[in-house]
Amino acid sequence: MARLERQVAIITGAASGIGLACAERFASEGAVVIGTDINEPGNWQTIQDFSPESWFRTLDVTHADAQREVAQQAVEKHGRIDILVTAAGIGDGGPVSMIEDEAWDRVIDINLKGTYLSIKSVLDTMMAQRSGSIITISSVEGINGTEGGSAYNASKGGVVLLSKNVAIDYGRMGIRSNVICPGFIDTPMLNSIMGAMPEFKADVVRETKVGRLGKAEEVAGAALFLASDDASYITGHNLVVDGGYTAGHRHGVVELMGLV
- Known catalytic residues? 152
- CA 169 – CA 172 distance, rounded (Å): 8
- Amino acid in position 83: I
Q: Where are the alpha helices (DSSP H) in the chain?
A: 17-28, 45-50, 64-78, 101-107, 114-129, 150-170, 188-194, 198-207, 216-227, 253-256
Whether the CB-CB separation of 220 and 25 falls below 8 Å is answered with yes
Helix boundaries (H) for 171-212: 188-194, 198-207
Cα gap 117→110, rounded to integer Å: 10
| Residue 48 CB neighbour total at 10 angstroms | 14
Within 10 angstroms of residue 145's Cβ, the number of other Cβ atoms is 12
The 8 Å CB, 24+ separation contacts for 66-69 are 67/36, 67/117, 67/118, 67/120, 67/121, 68/121
Residues 6+ apart with CB under 8 A from 136: 85, 86, 115, 119, 159, 162, 163, 177, 178, 179, 180
